[in-house]
Structure 1
Amino acid sequence: MTRDLLDPKGLIRESFRIDGIAEPECRSVFLDWALSLPDGTDNQEALKHLITRYAQQPVDHPMMMVLREGLGQMAGPKRRGGWRARRGR
């Protein structure tokens, strides 16, 4: 068995196999998946490949919805404001 670089622990694969999984559980799985990726992995590309891989899954499956949502939000937090924002102007 070869290691899947896009899903090292098989978390995403297994989430699609769990009957009755809900969005909160999928979010938790997604976070664990993101933290388990090897350093230097392009998360956006990994998500695009996973979405393509699981395209045959129902569009309304909670994990598919979380993956699509993550594709738009994984750019990372951006700091807004500078010293003025911290000082209250």
Structure 2
Amino acid sequence: MRLTEADPKGLVRESYAIEGITPGECRSIFMDWALSLPVGLSTPDALRALIAHYALDLPDHPMSEVLSDALTAPEQPRRRGGRAARVPGQA
């Protein structure tokens, strides 16, 4: 995947150029990036392209962590609450 496809607005590129950027600011930029991806573009492929281009050279940059975290699958949700959780013997 070409870098211009993976980062069509240059948001990730610009985040790496901002000196002193915080992890929170990187997460905000990431959300803007994710929402700006064209329909049908593979998000994991775009993330891998961005990581290969930016994060490998700058592993300590906050955006590198955000991009890497985005490739990690979230934990399966667990049921919380409800009658079965409050009443013993109910399943």
Give me the TM-score of the superposition, normalised by structure 2.
0.75
Aligned position for 2:7: 7
Q: CA RMSD in A?
A: 2.3
| % same residue | 46
> SS where residue 4 of structure 1 aligns?
helix
For residues 10 and 38 of structure 1, the distance between their equivalents in structure 2, rounded to whole angstroms, comes to 14
Spell out, residue by residue over 1:46-85, the C-alpha distance to the aligned partner (whole angstroms, 9 max, x if none).
Answer: 10111001121x2110000100011114x7x97767xxx8
Aligned position for 1:39: 39
| Larger CA Rg, structure 1 vs 2 | 2
Q: 2:12 corresponds to which letter in structure 1?
A: I
Q: How many residue pairs align between the two structures?
A: 81
Give me the TM-score of the superposition, normalised by structure 1.
0.77
Structure 1 segments, 4+ long, off by >6 Å, are 77-81
For residues 44 and 78 of structure 1, the distance between their equivalents in structure 2, rounded to whole angstroms, comes to 19
Q: Which ranges in structure 1 are unaligned for 5 or more consecutive residues?
A: none
Q: Which ranges in structure 2 are unaligned for 5 or more consecutive residues?
A: 85-91
Aligned position for 2:49: 49
Aligned position for 1:23: 23
